[in-house]
Amino acid sequence: MSEQLKPVFSHQFEQDIWEVLPDGEKLLISTRDNENLQVSFSMFDLVERKFLWKNISFEESWWISAYDFQGDVIVFQTYNDTQDIEARSVFGFDINSEEALWSIDDVKLNKSNRGMLSITPLSGEYESFTIDIKTGQEISETKDGEALEKSDNCKFPLHYESENPHFETLAKFVKSKLGTDLIGSCDYLEVPEFFAIAVNSKDETGYNLDLFVFKHEGSLLLEKPLDRELKGLASGTFFIVGQALIFVEGKRNLVFYSF
């Protein structure tokens, strides 16, 4: 095992991990139970390395997802009409009290930025307006003072399709180092300590996804199989928060390595 990368935490969820959203030193993890049509949410503190809460679900148990996560507030969206994905309701949720702060029905979500959410009502002649995600109250987009700054300690990989020149370079590197043929697309992230590649490959059972981490001089630091026997290409599988490399292994295992 590398001296630079050390396993510090892992947690096996009972259902497939659908999405992991970081903000600051916290992670919002969404899991989906396809058999019972149940979406659950958990909040993890990276500093304390513990869950603040686990497996919260709502009255709308399936057609729900996290639209944004900033500071102490999660903006959840529910889908009112499965035939019209723009028809939604939205509510703010306080991660500390675990209670809803506000809700607005029948809107189209435009964008979220710096603690503000732009929405358009679907009925009537009302124009778009902006609300404060902490209060749900309408504000001016030029509001000063308490606007939330999105943390810059999160780093996400670049996604390269096969027609991108960088893909060709990485494919040659992977072939020379690992003897593996890189197929279709890959994710690439470089930091001063190392660089990481999520590699799609294919065999007789289907597509495979592996995470490889290398020192800049080319030696292999870490190799992890992320998924097997997939029906297609995969992406969005790892990221960095602070000094932690975070990835999902086998759909359900959330893993952290420190560096």
Per-residue pLDDT of the chain (259 residues; tens, 9 = 90+): 446 799 999 999 999 999 999 999 999 999 999 999 999 999 999 999 999 999 999 999 999 999 999 999 999 999 988 788 888 999 999 999 999 999 999 999 999 988 999 999 988 667 899 999 999 999 986 554 444 455 568 999 999 999 999 999 999 999 999 999 999 999 999 999 999 999 999 999 999 999 999 999 999 999 999 999 999 999 878 999 999 999 999 999 999 999 9
The boundaries of the domain holding residue 162 are 157-235
| Confidence (pLDDT) at 4 | 78
Residue listed under structure tokens 């292994």: 249
Residues 142, 148: Cα–Cα separation, whole Å: 13
Residue 234 · residue 250 · CB < 8 Å: no
Domain of 40, CATH number, reads: 2.130.10.10
Beta carbons within 8 Å of 45's beta carbon, 6+ residues apart: 25, 26, 51, 52
**Residue 26 shares a structural domain with residue 132:** yes
Diameter over CA atoms, the chain: 62
Residues 257, 196: Cα–Cα separation, whole Å: 13
**Residue 196 shares a structural domain with residue 164:** yes
| Confidence (pLDDT) at 1 | 44
- Whether pTM exceeds 0.85: yes
| Confidence (pLDDT) at 143 | 54
Burial of 75 (0-12, 13-18, 19+ CB in 10 A): buried
**Residue 21 shares a structural domain with residue 119:** yes
| Confidence (pLDDT) at 87 | 84
Nearest to 134 by CA among 151, 119, 117, 111: 117
**Residue 79 shares a structural domain with residue 123:** yes
Give domain status of residue 4, yes or no. no
**Residue 34 shares a structural domain with residue 119:** yes
**Residue 104 shares a structural domain with residue 212:** no
Give domain status of residue 169, yes or no. yes
Give domain status of residue 250, yes or no. no
Segments in the chain forming alpha helices (H): 165-178
**Residue 32 shares a structural domain with residue 108:** yes
Residues 233, 134: Cα–Cα separation, whole Å: 38
| Confidence (pLDDT) at 195 | 98
**Residue 107 shares a structural domain with residue 187:** no
Give domain status of residue 245, yes or no. no
| Confidence (pLDDT) at 147 | 46
Q: How many folded domains does the chain comprise? A: 2
**Residue 82 shares a structural domain with residue 24:** yes
